[in-house]
Structure 1
């Protein structure tokens, strides 16, 4: 194998844990957060949440922040991984981690404090505990925990013991500039089950809320919010937010990389994996756009290519650039990829491109060349294109085609495949790619929704399944604001079939024009507009203002779950959601219709 073929897998090591290059550019953020924590040491205890979605670099920021804080005078750090800390309770693991951050003399003072608490342990056990202090610190901490957790009364004294230990530790460094500070990093909290998440939160608030300690939590705050609702028995969203506000005093949301940062990130990953020569600018831009600039998703795509090539060297003959493009189809267009692996389809790529070209010509209203598309129509048992409607052709084609034909990135990707497409399909049907599961790292999350059928075919599919229209929705008027309307074409057509007047717009300006034409009974909205993550909420605040004065119901229909601050804004603006479930939207609209007709 030539050196150019020696591609390597990228690991998931965060910055500071084997990753030696700051591709995520977190160093400046870590420096700023360090300055904030050190300047605020007199106000400790407090908790800082580093908030981001899965794979967006929380651990990398935490490792760099720990390294920066550790270099500060009189600052000590402790690391606790809530997900991999073993089967012990989160309370036990967290408290032991904190105690192990002290030196032996502090622990001995804590032992004497425990010896004075007669209800915690008897004289014989007290002597045994003091004797244990001459052994390793880990054994002493284990013994201390065993004594503190004997019964409910003993557990009630844990905070007193810890306060004594912290007092001794702080006093020892009283002469240092600004006093001592212990920073406890809690990583991977959002990977845990709901009950474990709540247990960590309660440990922080009930037992470790003592002077001189700062907690830094790496978590997706929406996961914390769900856990509090599920495990703490707080069903009311507002009450769940209030509960978390008692735990987390300050939150830093890691932004998605800018387009320039994302390009540097992709280039860095490609260089590390030795695959840079296979990814041109158009492919890199597609990865950035379709991955949501998520570093872990970008790594997984590159690793999928490396794995597939090492498992099946026959791709050398078909072209490694073609393998890259098929991997991208598998990750970003899974429905079409599944069609490619179906032996019933002989040359799906050529068929789709022929359909796309005919669709473009037909929609532009010009003459069509019957000879060019005769084979496409004949293969579906249809008349020549002069006498055939586009709808008739689309009824015979896979349901995904109309939406894919409107996706310029997809069409460009398909056209860029080199060589005969029949040969590539033969390869995939003989030996499909290794199974790709995008959410394998987050087993606690629900399975992703299958891509919905779109357009008229979606309505027909519902009819074939025996699903009736919703007569209760008839004559309801809704305004739907979404910068990617094709993503919701199926549901929009279904609502129209049920008698709803659906006015689809792509942003604030067009929505204002729609408001001036007709006052909607309800508004559906997404969150994002291009690179603006929360434009949907800002738009709603504008529509609620004096210029539009819309006071009706609003539902956010989006797969994104916003952070706590944005959830509070949603409630303040009297909106519902978010949801990514089509049936939830329909049921919500039925309630709107019922209220309108009451």
Structure 2
């Protein structure tokens, strides 16, 4: 079968690793980010799960750093609590600035060192002010490396007391931070990348967005936020609408916050095909037009979903080969069942109990008749399944898909796929 490898879905880290054709698009966007004069600016990188938002932003980060544009990266999904996440955001930004200023001060001339020392003093005051504000709300502030341990202790002791200096700096945080960014960038701009907002809890995601406005919203910054637009709209809708999400208000919230929505360019399916064909085992399956039609119909050009499918199919083929080398027919059946498990897990469970349902769906599609009884109910509860099975039907012209498997074949393959098929994909509208 050839060497079996598991494919990761790690993000591209730099321009030289670009396999998706993002570089040209990223260069155009970076030119706009660098040239915009009316700051602050908030850009939303919109795209569904698995389409390469992190990879695209990493390429932008690499391009901007090559131009000596100051950049900072923040991953909010590492922090669970609302109080923790806004504080982590602020301290991450301040820590990155402080570390870079220290390096510049050490390497600069005397006048430059004095100037950087003044900015560092302000940065540390802002860090203390943020920690003071958190200490008023929780007993465990994060410091991000700027605030010393003894300062944390002091703020803990002063939890119920008044710290006038810190309070003053909280009230002037936006203005002071604006001055810091101006000095730090020498009148330029700071680009802050915020990744994986849609992996956060709804409250945490909205807390990050609100914090950008409340604390950092006056500085010469460009905020680049990667998100699934629908997920964040629903999060804002729940925040504003209570138990019943108000999607209209959620969209309005996002429209006010995002100055420029940038919809991630899709990965051409032909490019994904060229990358992945050599990864499929056995090699005899890699050239199957039916397999690639299944992948295209089910997963489109979503790199993460395609990689996960290929991993599951390769492991399934290797497991079946422990007994006898599986035929292309059997592997296509395995691929269709794996797709059902990934995209329609409820239907996959029904199929395990009632293996004949696949054949009944196929016959109804061939005769263009309606499903009846329980099958009609299952069809209504699993929108998209009939469309998928129709796309891989043996009756479809132009392809050579096999007839549905027998009940015994379904039982064998579903038993193997329960082990090798991985987890179902995140919920998504496949209708």
The correspondence for 2:262, drawn from 234, 252, 262, is: 252
2:290/2:401 contact within 8 Å kept:
no
Matched position secondary structure for 1:185: strand
1:76 corresponding residue in structure 2 = 70
Within the alignment, does 1:197 sit opposite 2:193 as a pair? no
Cα distance, 1:408–1:227 mapped onto 2, change above 3 Å: closer
1:8 corresponding residue in structure 2 = 5
In 2, the alpha carbon distance for the partners of 1:411 and 1:108 equals: 74
In 2, the alpha carbon distance for the partners of 1:61 and 1:119 equals: 34
1:320, distance to aligned residue in structure 2 (A) = 6.0
Bigger relative contact order, structure 1 or 2, given CA contacts below 8 A and separation 6+? 2
2:45/2:225 contact within 8 Å kept:
yes
Within the alignment, does 1:438 sit opposite 2:415 as a pair? no
Within the alignment, does 1:27 sit opposite 2:27 as a pair? no
Cα distance, 1:421–1:220 mapped onto 2, change above 3 Å: same
Q: Counterparts of 1:185-584 in structure 2 under 5 Å?
A: 185-233=193-241, 236-257=246-267, 261-272=268-279, 277-279=284-286, 280-314=288-322, 316-319=324-327, 322-332=330-340, 334=344, 337-338=348-349, 341-342=352-353, 355=363, 360=367, 398-399=375-376, 403=386, 407-411=390-394, 416-417=401-402, 421=406, 424-425=409-410, 427-428=412-413, 431=416, 433-434=418-419, 436-439=422-425, 442=426, 559=429
1:183/1:214 contact within 8 Å kept:
yes
Q: Which runs of 5+ in 1 are unaligned?
A: 123-135, 364-389, 449-558, 561-579, 581-598
Cα distance, 1:159–1:417 mapped onto 2, change above 3 Å: farther
Give 1 or 2: higher helix fraction: 2
In 2, the alpha carbon distance for the partners of 1:296 and 1:218 equals: 16
1:83/1:192 contact within 8 Å kept:
yes
In 1, the alpha carbon distance for the partners of 2:74 and 2:12 equals: 17
Cα distance, 1:236–1:416 mapped onto 2, change above 3 Å: closer
2:179 corresponding residue in structure 1 = 167
2:316/2:416 contact within 8 Å kept:
no
1:352, distance to aligned residue in structure 2 (A) = 7.1
1:268, distance to aligned residue in structure 2 (A) = 0.6
In 1, the alpha carbon distance for the partners of 2:125 and 2:213 equals: 25
1:110/1:164 contact within 8 Å kept:
no
TM-score by length of 1: 0.54
In 2, the alpha carbon distance for the partners of 1:71 and 1:262 equals: 30
1:219, distance to aligned residue in structure 2 (A) = 0.5
Once structures 1 and 2 are overlaid, which stretch shifts more, 30-39 or 105-114?
Answer: 105-114
Q: Which runs of 5+ in 2 are unaligned?
A: 106-115, 133-142, 380-384
CA-based RMSD of the aligned residues comes to 4.4
1:425, distance to aligned residue in structure 2 (A) = 3.7
Deviations 1:110-163 (A, max 9, x none): 5368779999999xxxxxxxxxxxxx9924377778889968984673363464
2:30/2:64 contact within 8 Å kept:
yes
1:228, distance to aligned residue in structure 2 (A) = 1.6
1:107, distance to aligned residue in structure 2 (A) = 7.0
In 2, the alpha carbon distance for the partners of 1:199 and 1:101 equals: 21
Cα distance, 1:276–1:412 mapped onto 2, change above 3 Å: farther
Matched position secondary structure for 1:410: coil
Alignment size in residue pairs? 385
TM-score by length of 2: 0.72
In 2, the alpha carbon distance for the partners of 1:195 and 1:303 equals: 34
Cα distance, 1:119–1:269 mapped onto 2, change above 3 Å: closer
1:91/1:199 contact within 8 Å kept:
yes
